[in-house]
A and B are shown apart, each in its own frame.
Chain A
Amino acid sequence: MSDPDEYFILRLYVAGQTAKAIAAFANLKTICEEQLKGRYEIEVIDLLENPKLAREDQIVALPTLVRRLPLPLRKIIGDLSDTERVLVGLNLLPRPKD
Chain B
Amino acid sequence: MVGLVLRRVGQAALIVFLVTTLTFVLLRVAPGDPFTATVEHPLIAEETREQWRAAAGLDRPIAEQYIRYLANVARGDFGPSFSKGRPVSEELASAVPNTLLLMLAALVASFVLGVALGVFQAVRRGSIADRAIGGVALFFYSMPDFWLALMVLLLFAYRLGLFPVGGMLNPWSYEYYDIWGRIANRLHHLALPAGTLTLLSAAAIARYQRSAVLDVARQDYVRTARAKGVSERRVVTRHILRNALLPVITLLGLAFPALLGGAVFVEKVFAWPGMGRLAVEAIGTRDYHLVTATVIIAGVMVSIGSLLADLLYAAVDPRLRET
Tell whether A pairs with B.
Answer: no
